[in-house]
A and B are shown apart, each in its own frame.
Chain A
Amino acid sequence: MSAVDKYNVESAEILANSALHLPITQAAPIYEQLLSIFPTAAKYWRQYVEAQMVVNNDDATKQIFSRCLLNCLHVPLWRCYIRFIRKANDKKGVEGQEETRKAFDFMLSYVGADIASGPVWMEYIAFLKSLPATNTQEESQRMTAVRKAYQKAIVTPTHHIEQLWRDYENFENSVSRQLAKGLLSEYQPKYTSARAVYRELKKYVDEIDWNMLAVPPTDSCKDQMQWVAWKRLLAFEKGNPQRIDSASNKRIIFSYEQCLMYLYHYPDIWYDYATWHAKSGSMDAAVKVFQRALKALPDSEMLKYAYAELEESRGAIPSAKKLYESILGDAAQTTALAHIQFIRFLRRNEGVEAARKYFLDARKSPSCTYHVYVAYALMAFCLDKDPKVAHNVFEAGMKHFMHEPLYILEYADFLSCLNDDRNIRALFERALSSLPQEESIEIWKRFTQFERTYGDLATMLKVEQRRKEALSGTSEEGDSALETSLQDLISRYSFKDLWPCSSKDLDHLSRQEWLAKNIGKKVEKSALSDGSAATDKSSSAATGISAASLKVLRPDTSQMVIYDPKQHQGTAVPANTTASNLSNPVASVVGAVSNPLLNPSVSMLDSGSANTFDEVLKATPPALIAFLTSLPAVEGPTPNVDIVLSICLQSDLPTGQTKKSTNLTSQRTTGPAPSTSDLSGSSKSHPIPRRQLG
């Protein structure tokens, strides 16, 4: 709660606003407090320093600038600084001018790359132009300085790049028309490229909230989007869009520094920044970044490990060791992981003995869990190739961690590396005799696996039987009590990813498992509705949201009719004998007309059985069939029923049944509609024509 409150942005804003109206002596502590929480909040620094400048508190002003400038690459803040410098040096003549020029150079080396630095460049150029020149030599020096400044400014992607270019053109033309042509044509492409980069860069910069205060990362969407926006900008700068060699790294550093003003509490940014430095070869810069990162996030273990890794990999062992020691902290807070990593570090850099010594100390620590034993034992075994020490460590650990199933499993793994089956069996038996049932599940699992690899058939079966008996009551194995023994057999006779059955068989078995689960569920439900209708325990537990908030209404199938779609063979549904009223009439019609027609169609349909044919006819409107069958034998041009139907059937592929049937349906509505309605007598359009006739 307090951690959240500490970074409360709204109350910080209110506080900062209130400070605006207070005399500086009262406001200063408020600013100090704010800035201790938000050390990179340039806007507060600026407000603070401006308040000091108003009352001409020069020493305090200088002191504040020295605290904030290098960490806050923020153009408005730096412009404050230059204002202060200019004011202080205005009346000091040449010396003062030199000071101001130095301050400008200093400033531009830090924030000259900012997209908002255009006015700073302009101010600088104006300042250079304003310097007095008493002779031609000084004049030409001044001109060179101005030219240099312009040439830097017009290759920097800023909001004012176009204006700066125009100013530069004017400047060169005012100096010498002849020289101007050559210089401008030389700089034109550089400027054009910078302007193109500016347009691209602006898109990324516009995504960033430059007013944001640096708060620890939350899962809020705004924070996430800001993180994304910064990552995009950094990626853009890393792509070196201007294709310049010297300044590109400077721009990347500048972007990282700015990013960290806002994402000050994001370890990933610090880490990226440091590793970027390390990769580009400047280890010292990387170390400095890590040091700053740890100042920003003193509790971040990740960053400490990252820093230690960098130090260790460049051979700075004492410094790395110090970091490990700081991770260990004081004894009360040490974690098991810190012990383990320190032991490994010592083993790597100071040798076996140092690691052993530390392990012996760590054993006594209250934070020493079984992990430390396992880690040290494995180190002794795998690195020192000393199985005896490893074995002793595991055995010593048993005194403390007998009750930890995971420790037992690790120990068993180790023993199986030694191929020590006698001891493994003894270990399993020892563990199973002391562990409670619900904690022994994994042990039993491993035990059976072990017997499958090491045992003979009799021990294998015996352990599986024992396991079943031991676990029959637990929830975990509730299903496997129902499990078919076939599944046990499959697991006995499979090896790695080879199975004694096809994947189809496996699917089949898992389907049965699913069914079995559902059987259980159903029984549970009906038992409940029989007994107490009031309690709704089982369903709410099983169905989560829907049942918790809504009462679900279940279909009452006794109010419905059963539909027997005459299932194909091979589906799971048993054939139902009760025929529905829907399929009935069809079926009878089929019986009446089928025989003479069936033969040609059956030979054509591959999956052909009476069923397929039934369905085709079923899909055919009963009225059409009735119509066809009841056609009177008239002389003259009349369609042959057999031909009509066989054509219908021939064009009917087994996969396309439904398409066909819909076609038939629609044909019927457009084609012989009047005659069918005659037969069914249900047409509503009927009475109307009759009335017209009569």
Chain B
Amino acid sequence: MVNVCRETSAGQDTKGSTKSFPKHETRHLSEHKNIARCARFSPDGMFVATGSADTSIKLFEISKIKQMMLPDSKDGPVRPVIRTFYDHEQPINDLDFHPQSTVLISGAKDNTIKFFDFSKATAKRAFRVIQDTHNVRSVAFHPSGDFLIAGTDHPVAHLYDVNTFQCYLSANPPEIGVNGAINQVRYSSTGGMYVTASKDGAIRLWDGVSASCVRSIVGAHRTAEATSACFTKDQRFVLSCGKDSTVKLWEIGTGRLVKQYLGATHTQLRCQAVFSDTEEFVLSIDESSNEIVIWDALTGEKVAKWPSNHIGSPRWIEHSPTEPAFISCGTDRSVRFWKEIL
């Protein structure tokens, strides 16, 4: 990614040939009882969790998924789901893993954030609950693991101290209109910043230490909702996705738009745009053709369009942080795993 950044920040389109995205194989992993709404990998890439409108959370072990994908496993069918948690009363919106311990958190429509300890095979319920005031649309752990940030219907993100449950807000938030509900909040790798993607189409960057807003990119997706935002590993760029069917790369230092990834229609769902593990590629969803679209992050050229294999467009896509593999969640209730064919 370092190279990508140097090129793009120089403002030049690279002449270098577009990379080709390796072939992947895909497998149906599991089925929720209702729409699968979100997925998240653990930071070490060993686990992935999915959340559903049926209020359940499923936890998968990646090694078991891979074992399952071997065509001829001797020990009969392998079950990659190692835990299922039922504790919410409303659909799950987002999930995150504690950076160091075996704790998974979930944000849900029932205004709560719940903590699950997945080291115990038997615990099906949360061991701690944060009661928020709003629909919790997005959650993210601070890299220290001592704080978490929640994006809700409230236009300002809620910062929680994990040990005391005290909730903090920015002391001087910018003026945000009525449609400021946060669709996604994500921390940068050091926790020095966090980014919010809001229904009002704005992308806002906040100082991770003081919680003051350092940059508002108002109208990042014009008047359409901004549905996802995430940092590059070097914290110099933010990738955002909106219901205006665009995926955009922003330079944080200047607030300048450096790249657009076009050609995927997404106007209905809370669509995600994510980087591949090496940040060489950008992945998103085309709702109209029900395809997964992949761009070369550097050139912005579309390099692949694959049928999603879901019935109806997938709702969510999430890439492993450690290897060429990703997961897609469908309105058809199913969860699919994708992995590079080696």
Binding site for B on A (CB under 8 A): 221-222, 224-225, 228, 231-232, 235, 503-504, 507, 510-511, 514-515, 518-519, 522, 542-546, 550-557, 559-568, 571-573, 576, 580, 582, 615, 618-619, 621, 655, 657-659, 661-662, 665-666, 668-669, 682
Contact = CB atoms under 8 A, between A and B. Distances in A.
Contacts of A553: 190-192, 208-209
A550 B190 contact: yes
A571 B129 contact: yes
B142 interface: yes
Interface in B65-122: 70-72, 89-90, 99-100, 109-111, 117, 120, 122
Contacts of B190: 550-553
A557 B159 contact: yes
Nearest to B342: A221
Nearest to A657: B111
Contact of B132 (A542, A565, A661, A669): A565
Contacts, number: 155
B296 to A, nearest CB: 23
A479 to B, nearest CB: 14
Q: Enumerate the 3 nearest inter-chain pairs by beta-carbon distance, A residue then B residue, closest first.
A: A221-B342, A658-B135, A573-B165
The residue in A515, A559, A560 that gathers the most chain B C-beta atoms within 10 A of its C-beta is A560
30 contacts: A222-B342, A232-B72, A503-B122, A507-B123, A510-B120, A511-B127, A518-B163, A545-B43, A546-B143, A546-B189, A552-B143, A553-B208, A554-B191, A554-B209, A556-B210, A557-B161, A560-B171, A560-B210, A560-B211, A561-B169, A564-B167, A571-B130, A573-B130, A573-B164, A619-B134, A658-B109, A658-B111, A658-B153, A669-B179, A682-B175
Nearest to A565: B133
A563 B158 contact: yes
B269 to A, nearest CB: 17
A561 B168 contact: yes
Interface residues of B, number: 60
B342 A225 contact: yes
For chain B, what secondary structure do more than half of its interface residues adopt (helix, strand, loop), or is it mixed?
loop
Contacts of B70: 228
A205 to B, nearest CB: 15
Nearest to B199: A662
A515 B165 CA distance: 12
Contacts of B125: 504, 507
B165 A231 contact: no
A238 B107 CA distance: 50
Interface in B45-72: 70-72
Interface in B285-337: none
B192 to A, nearest CB: 4
A557 B166 contact: yes
A514 B70 CA distance: 38
A662 B153 contact: yes
A589 B163 CA distance: 33
B181 interface: yes
A543 B99 CA distance: 8
B71 A556 contact: no
Contact of A662 (B181, B192, B212): B181
B2 interface: no
B209 A658 contact: no
Contact of B135 (A518, A571, A662): A662
Given A222-B342, A507-B125, A562-B168, A556 B133 contact: no
Given A550-B143, A554-B147, A563 B167 contact: yes
A228 B178 contact: no
A465 B127 CA distance: 30
Contacts of B123: 507, 510
B144 interface: yes
Given A655-B89, A665-B179, 8 more contacts: A510-B120, A543-B100, A543-B144, A546-B189, A562-B167, A655-B110, A665-B178, A666-B179
B170 interface: yes
A522 B342 CA distance: 45
A228 to B, nearest CB: 6
Nearest to B110: A655
Given A543-B99, A615-B133, A507 B127 contact: yes
B44, B142, B143, most chain A CB atoms within 10 A: B143
Contacts of B342: 221-222, 224-225
B211 A559 contact: yes
Nearest to A544: B100
B131 interface: yes
A510 B117 contact: yes
A566 B167 CA distance: 11
B23 interface: no
Nearest to B66: A224
B146 interface: yes
B256 interface: no
A400 B127 CA distance: 48
Given A559-B171, A571-B165, A573-B164, A554 B111 contact: no
Contact of B165 (A228, A511, A572, A669): A572
A618 to B, nearest CB: 7
Nearest to A553: B192
Contact of B71 (A231, A510, A662): A231
Contacts of B147: 554-555
Nearest to B103: A514
B166 A562 contact: yes
Contacts of B144: 543, 552, 554
B145 interface: yes
B192 A555 contact: no
Contacts of A572: 128-129, 165
Contacts of A576: 166
B209 A555 contact: yes
A560 B90 CA distance: 30
Nearest to A621: B178
A652 B268 CA distance: 26
Given A552-B191, A566-B133, A559 B90 contact: no
A225 B147 CA distance: 43
A666 B180 CA distance: 11
Nearest to B189: A550
Contacts of B134: 619, 658, 661
Given A562-B166, A562-B168, A658-B111, A554 B146 contact: yes
Question: Considering residues A507, A562, A572, A658, which has the most beta carbons from chain B within 10 angstroms of its beta carbon?
Answer: A658
Contacts of A510: 117, 120, 123, 127
Given A514-B117, A545-B43, A555 B168 contact: yes
A503 B127 CA distance: 11
A563 B169 contact: yes
A544 B144 CA distance: 11
A514 B167 CA distance: 20
B31 to A, nearest CB: 25
A563 B133 CA distance: 10
A566 B131 CA distance: 9
Scoring A224, A553, A555, A582 by chain B CB atoms within 10 A of each residue's CB, the highest score goes to A555
A458 B127 CA distance: 35
